[in-house]
Amino acid sequence: MCLPQTVGALQQSFSRRDFFKLGAACAATAALAPSVSLAQAGRTINAGMIVDLTHTWGLNTPLFPGSVQPTIELFVSIAQNGYYGNIVSYWEHTGTHMDAPSHFIEGGAYVDQLAVTSLVAPLCVVDIKAKVAAEPASQVMIDDLVAWEQQYGRLPDGAALFMNSGWATRWGDPAAYVNADSTNTLLFSGFSLEAVEFLLAERNVVGIGVDTLSLDYGPATAFVAHSAWLGAGRWGLENVANLDSVPPVGASVVVAPTKMAAGSGGPTRILAMY
């Protein structure tokens, strides 16, 4: 997410109760840090199918309101120079992209500092399309995670957990993707604080992803899911694509952010394999 007008309120609106709950979650998580990665477990990846979970980004890419559109300037052309290339500018949180801990946390890891062992993980997908069809501004709740585990088993250690709200089909229509109502409230889905706290305290998940513009759902004005998740040193992904093309469990994912020095995140190629 990135809404300069409202994000300044973050610290103020994060209540004492939230901080207590977050503190408890972080303390519990210390003993459960994602020390068992796919790599360390010596797992193999089945690459029989490769699915690109990345949207193509460009001049008209949907962005969180208040962000700056990319520019793409022709620098050399085959006709003039014998080869083709552009000078590109973008706000770091454009397209399918990563939020590194530093995006919200002073002293948090920059995008180039993330351990590569956290970038290759078992992929789990929680499908909330049914409730989003009724209410676009839904959140992944603990109940959704419990229901997922009842069906597919416990979230594996070192997993990446992505939300599929069915939003990716709107990518080509920025107004429908941002989905602001008449009061400029954004109506799309994300992770609830309670779900993030549950994952931090009770499971061992290296990263979360959403198929919308923000880890926090659209109506949020205090970015509590961002702060709790990134505050625990984990990565988040926004605008993930093609989640209908991967199974809920059993695939692996390679998360490949641009490796820019001191980046707060950045465009990220995501390939799932199974």
Interacting residues with a copy of itself between 233 and 252 (CB under 8 A): 252
CB nearer a copy of itself, residue 9 or residue 147: 9
Element holding 24 (H helix, E strand): helix 16-30
Candidate ranges 103-111, 159-167, 188-196, 202-210; the one touching a copy of itself (CB under 8 A) = 103-111
Q: Binding of a copy of itself at residue 191 (CB under 8 A)?
A: no
| Of positions 26, 65, 112, 219, contacts a copy of itself by CB under 8 A | 112
CB of 96 to a copy of itself, least distance (A): 7
β strands within 115-219, DSSP E = 120-127, 139-140, 159-164, 190-191, 205-210
Q: Cα–Cα–Cα angle for 230, 54, 40, nearest 5°?
A: 55
Contact (Cβ atoms closer than 8 angstroms) between residue 3 and residue 63: no
CB nearer a copy of itself, residue 92 or residue 127: 92
Q: Binding of a copy of itself at residue 16 (CB under 8 A)?
A: no
Q: Binding of a copy of itself at residue 228 (CB under 8 A)?
A: no
Paired with 162 in beta bridges are 125, 209
| Of positions 24, 28, 33, 87, contacts a copy of itself by CB under 8 A | 87
Q: Binding of a copy of itself at residue 30 (CB under 8 A)?
A: no
Distance CA 244, CA 251 (A): 13
CB nearer a copy of itself, residue 199 or residue 215: 215
Contact (Cβ atoms closer than 8 angstroms) between residue 252 and residue 123: yes
Distance CA 164, CA 210 (A): 7
| Of positions 22, 25, 103, 194, contacts a copy of itself by CB under 8 A | 103
Q: Binding of a copy of itself at residue 35 (CB under 8 A)?
A: no
Contacts of residue 113, defined as CB under 8 A and 6 or more positions apart, other chains included, come to 100
For 240, the 3-state DSSP assignment is: strand
Residue type, 76: V
CB of 59 to a copy of itself, least distance (A): 8
Contact (Cβ atoms closer than 8 angstroms) between residue 271 and residue 50: yes
Q: Binding of a copy of itself at residue 42 (CB under 8 A)?
A: yes
| Of positions 34, 62, 104, 178, contacts a copy of itself by CB under 8 A | 104
Both tokens of 43, joined, read: 């797992």
CB of 115 to a copy of itself, least distance (A): 9
Q: Binding of a copy of itself at residue 47 (CB under 8 A)?
A: yes
Distance in Å from the first CA to the final CA of the chain: 30
Looking at residues 158 to 187 of the shown chain, list those that interact with a copy of itself (rule: CB under 8 A): none
Candidate ranges 40-48, 133-141, 181-189, 205-213; the one touching a copy of itself (CB under 8 A) = 40-48
CB nearer a copy of itself, residue 1 or residue 208: 1
> What are the phi and psi torsion angles at 38 (to 5°)?
-55, -40
Q: Cα–Cα–Cα angle for 93, 96, 97, nearest 5°?
A: 45
| Of positions 68, 146, 147, 180, contacts a copy of itself by CB under 8 A | 68
| Residues that contact a copy of itself, how many (by CB under 8 A) | 77
